[in-house]
Amino acid sequence: MKHQSLISGQPINLIYFGSPAFSSKILKSLLFNPLRTTYYELRTIGLVTSPDVPLGRNKTLTPSPVASLAASLHLPTFKPAKLDDSNLAHIKLLKPDLFLVVSYGQIIPQTWLETPRLGVLNLHFSLLPKYRGALCISQAIKNQDQETGITLMAMDEQLDHGPIITQVKVPISTDDDVASLTQRLTSAAIKLLTSALPDYLSGKLTATPQDHSQATFTPTTKTRTRDSAFVSWQDITTKDPATIHALIRSLNPDPGAWTQIPTNRGQIEAKILKTNLTDKLNIETIHLPSRSPISFQQFLAGYSLTL
């Protein structure tokens, strides 16, 4: 980035790329607490998010959480199915200075990366180069890591490959699932942006290339399906308790770990909502189809386990 291109008193026009709920929270922090210094103000002038998707029994077209927030504030919003030159032409009309990407869902093409004069930054929810890709939070829990974090990086054309501007570490509790850890990482990301982005734009922080030899990659989001979330009862009862506890937490809340419990009434399908770890794996809460969640002790009051 060419820091010398900043002009005192001139706003920096930001276009935000993001889609899920946690990205919406980060966007909201930028909109309601815009970053200002003596030299400039960061102004969010537009959003790029994923197209509306059909949800629910009636397959109602539903906007992403980022799109919903933007609509409530009447911000220009783009939902391109493809980041091609035609859609880029519309973005260029806004004369952006900077792109910020926070879990958008598509690879940003080189032509788009070259558009904003101050570059393209990305907030990634891991300590790069570890856990490149979309399932970085889940993978850190599954691998029983004691910490993860937030990386602010300058984007290039490869996946999570660009130079690192700064990072902050976040501890992982043995009770964390993807939702609780995402919540803490989101709070850390907001704090990181507040301090690091002004320092980077003013030249106090510079980007350092990653050690690509240390890179690890997570599976794609397409692998995170209901079938992939099945955990056999045999594994639950015979395998290392810490490993199974971590696996279940890494799958929750979406798509949600589930199993088939052998009982005197046959195999009972159940989602495993919560477990804890003592000297063994303890199942706390389960969810049977078409019923409300119950404790595992309540379940055992009505069913007997069989081998």
The answer to whether 286 touches 294, Cβ cutoff 8 Å, is yes
Residue type, 80: P
The confidence band for 34, taking pLDDT boundaries of 50, 70 and 90, is confident
How many helices and strands in the chain, by DSSP H and E? Answer: 9, 13
Q: What is the mean pLDDT of residues 268-291?
A: 95
User: Is 3's pLDDT higher than 80?
Assistant: no
- The pLDDT score that the predictor gives to residue 2 is 45
Check for a shared fold between 7-118 and 123-153+164-221: yes
Chain mean pLDDT for the chain: 93
Torsion over CA: 19, 20, 21, 26 (sign) = negative
> E strands along 87-179, which residues?
98-102, 120-124, 147-154, 164-171
Query: Options 3.40.50.170, 1.10.1660.10, 3.40.50.920, 3.40.50.10490; which CATH number does 123-153+164-221 get?
Result: 3.40.50.170
The confidence band for 77, taking pLDDT boundaries of 50, 70 and 90, is very high
Scanning the structure block, which residue is given the tokens 């399908």? 269
Quick count: other Cβ atoms within 10 Å of Cβ 158?
10
CATH number for the region 7-118 comes to 3.40.50.170
Between 36-40, 190-194, 269-273, the lowest mean confidence (pLDDT) is in: 36-40
Q: How is residue 232 annotated by DSSP?
A: -
Chain center to CA of 299: 34
- The pLDDT score that the predictor gives to residue 37 is 66
Between 33-37, 96-100, 255-259, the lowest mean confidence (pLDDT) is in: 33-37
Rounded CA-CA distance 209/37 in Å is 27
The answer to whether 270 touches 229, Cβ cutoff 8 Å, is no
The confidence band for 57, taking pLDDT boundaries of 50, 70 and 90, is confident
Between 5-19, 42-56, 128-142, 198-212, the lowest mean confidence (pLDDT) is in: 5-19
Residues 155-207 have pLDDT tens digits of 999 999 999 999 999 999 999 999 999 999 999 999 999 999 989 988 899 99
What residue segments make up the domains of the chain, in order of their start?
7-118, 123-153+164-221, 225-302
Scanning the structure block, which residue is given the tokens 């969810």? 287
User: Is 300's pLDDT higher than 80?
Assistant: yes
Residue type, 194: T
DSSP per residue, 195-233: HHHHHHHTTSS--B---GGG--BPPPGGG-STGGGB--H
Q: How is residue 135 annotated by DSSP?
A: T
Residues 215-252 have pLDDT tens digits of 999 987 878 899 999 999 999 999 999 999 999 999 99
Scanning the structure block, which residue is given the tokens 């940003």? 108
Rounded CA-CA distance 94/48 in Å is 12
The answer to whether 69 touches 24, Cβ cutoff 8 Å, is yes
Name the class of domain 225-302: alpha beta
Nearest residue to 103 via CA among 145, 140, 133, 73: 133
